[in-house]
């Protein structure tokens, strides 16, 4: 730095040369900042940006090349691009949105295969990590929940408390005033059917004896 108390002076050409040197250093620094790093030294976010950049260029060149190959009335659509980097990072970039019908059908097929094959979640997660075409594990789990909710709406499930009091038992229990203990009806049945048939009828028509509820059936004579 130039000291004010000194009598040294800076000439115009020298000052101009210093400015050019500063500009050169600034350009070199900026150029080093734009150097392309090897993929192995890049974070996943950088690799994703690179994949989007290269696929954008591919799409642009594809549209221009199509004009010289196909007729203008033909609809040529680039749907996806797949490539790998160093056989380690695999990328699949889709152009446009996937049909909801195809997406739902694909998820249903995966859920069915996982359930029938009894594939654990951890095993499927590892499989989806190496196969990019498979839906992610959380997407499969969400689809399974959606299917379960739909089934619950279509098929009502009745939960029965086995430890609670049986409502059906209350319905079929007979009190002391029932037809089976009414003396007049009992005598009439005995006179018509006989004692043996009457005793069998008590059991077969739902009378509870010795704490056992007998099932109801029809006696055909």
d(CA 162, CA 146): 30
Q: How far apart are CA 155 and CA 90, in angstroms?
A: 43
pLDDT band at residue 15 using 50, 70 and 90 as cut-offs = low
Q: Please tell me the pTM assigned to this model.
A: 0.36
pLDDT of 202 above 80:
no
Residue 191: pLDDT band by 50, 70, 90 thresholds?
low
DSSP result, 170-195: HHH---TTSTTT-HHHHHHHHHHH-H
pLDDT digits (tens, 9 = 90+) for 93-152: 777 766 666 777 788 888 888 888 888 888 888 887 777 677 888 888 888 888 888 877
- Please give the pLDDT value at position 126: 83
Using pLDDT thresholds of 50, 70 and 90, give the confidence band for residue 195.
very low
Fill in the DSSP letter of residue 205: B
Which pLDDT score, from 0 to 100, does residue 49 have?
87
Collect all residues with Cβ–Cβ distance below 8 Å to 193 and sequence separation of at least 6.
201, 221
Chain centroid, CA 57 distance in Å: 32
Whole-angstrom Cα Rg for the chain: 42
Q: Coil, helix or strand for 62?
A: helix
Residues 110 and 135 sit within 8 Å (Cβ to Cβ): yes
Q: What is the pLDDT of residue 79?
A: 84
Output the average pLDDT for the chain.
69
- pLDDT of the residue at 83: 86
- Which of the two residues, 43 and 101, has the higher pLDDT score? 43
Confidence of residue 221 (pLDDT cuts 50, 70, 90): very low
Retrieve residue 212's tokens.
């056992």
Confidence of residue 212 (pLDDT cuts 50, 70, 90): very low
Q: Are 201 and 219 in contact (CB under 8 A)?
A: yes
Residues 6+ apart with CB under 8 A from 85: 39, 47, 91
Give the tens place of pLDDT for each residue, 156-173. 666 666 666 555 554 444
Q: What's the rounded mean pLDDT across residues 192-210?
A: 45
Cβ neighbours around 81 below 10 Å, total: 16
Domain range summary for the chain, segments of one domain joined by +: 17-96, 98-157, 167-213
**Tokens (6 digits) for 153:** 């709406």
Q: Please give the DSSP secondary-structure letter assigned to residue 164.
A: S
Number of neighbours of residue 159 by Cβ within 10 angstroms:
4
Q: For the purposes of burial, counting CB atoms within 10 Å of the CB of 151, is it exposed (0-12), middle (13-18) or buried (19 or more)?
A: exposed
Q: How far is CA 145 from the centre of its chain?
A: 8
pLDDT of 184 reads 64
Which residues are bridge partners to 213 per DSSP?
Answer: 208
Structure confidence at residue 117 (pLDDT): 85
The neighbour count for residue 39, using CB atoms within 10 Å, is 13
Percentage of the chain exceeding pLDDT 90: 2
């Amino acid at each position: 730095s130039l000291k004010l108390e000194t009598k040294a002076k800076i000439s115009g050409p020298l000052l101009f040369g210093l400015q050019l040197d500063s500009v050169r250093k600034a350009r070199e620094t900026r150029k080093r900042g734009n150097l392309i790093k090897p993929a192995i030294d890049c974070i996943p976010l950088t690799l994703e940006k690179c994949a989007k950049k290269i696929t954008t260029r591919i799409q642009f060149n594809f549209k221009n090349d199509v004009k010289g190959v196909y007729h203008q009335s033909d609809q040529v659509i680039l749907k996806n691009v797949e490539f790998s980097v160093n056989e380690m990072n695999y990328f699949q970039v889709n152009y446009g949105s996937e049909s909801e019908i195809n997406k739902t059908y694909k998820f249903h097929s995966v859920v069915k295969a996982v359930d029938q094959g009894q594939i654990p979640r951890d095993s499927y997660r590892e499989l989806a990590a190496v196969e990019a075409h498979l839906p992610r594990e959380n997407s499969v789990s969400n689809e399974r929940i959606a299917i379960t909710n739909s089934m619950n709406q279509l098929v009502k499930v009745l939960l029965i408390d086995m430890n609670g009091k049986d409502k059906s038992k209350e319905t079929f229990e007979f009190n002391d005033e029932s037809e089976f203990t009414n003396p007049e009806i009992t005598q009439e049945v005995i006179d018509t059917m006989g004692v043996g048939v009457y005793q069998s009828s008590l059991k077969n028509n739902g009378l509870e004896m010795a704490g056992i509820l007998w099932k109801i059936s029809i006696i055909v004579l």
